[in-house]
């Protein structure tokens, strides 16, 4: 093992599951967790060089997601904000029976549009 890996913030002996660095590209929460660990890493430059030198095609290396044309920040935004840009907070998040998040601000706006349409058509 290269010496830089022994200093990496993502080491398994620090309690990190190695699978965290190979998430499904639709799993924004896992991507955010991994990237946040990368941002604290003392050997991020060495990790980035390793990924480029060895032609990594998948996973998160030095806070960058390989194997997709989207940046981690673009994917992480999905973890923290709804598609309309409202921040997911405990007050603004409703969980469905299928364990998916729904934005209360968007739901309220949709309900208001429906009510306005009903009044206009009445």
Binding residue numbers for [4Fe-4S] cluster: 10, 38, 41, 47
Q: Please enumerate in sequence order all residues whose Cβ is within 8 A of that of 6, keeping only pairs 6 or more positions apart, or say none.
A: none
Specify binding-site residues: 10, 38, 41, 47
Beta strand extents in the chain (DSSP E only): 59-61, 64-66, 93-95, 101-103
d(CA 92, CA 103): 6
Spatial CB neighbours of 22, under 8 Å, sequence gap ≥ 6? 58, 59, 60
């Amino acid at each position: 093992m290269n010496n830089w890996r022994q200093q990496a913030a993502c080491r398994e002996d620090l309690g990190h599951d190695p699978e965290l660095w190979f998430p499904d590209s639709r799993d924004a929460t896992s991507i955010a967790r991994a990237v946040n660990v990368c941002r604290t890493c003392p050997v991020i430059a060495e990790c980035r060089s390793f990924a480029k030198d060895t032609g990594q095609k998948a996973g998160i290396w030095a806070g960058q997601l390989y194997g997709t044309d989207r940046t981690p920040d673009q994917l992480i935004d999905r973890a923290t904000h709804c598609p309309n840009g409202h921040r997911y907070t405990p007050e603004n998040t409703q969980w469905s029976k299928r364990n998916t998040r729904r934005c209360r601000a968007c739901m309220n706006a949709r309900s208001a549009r429906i009510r306005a349409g009903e009044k206009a058509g009445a």
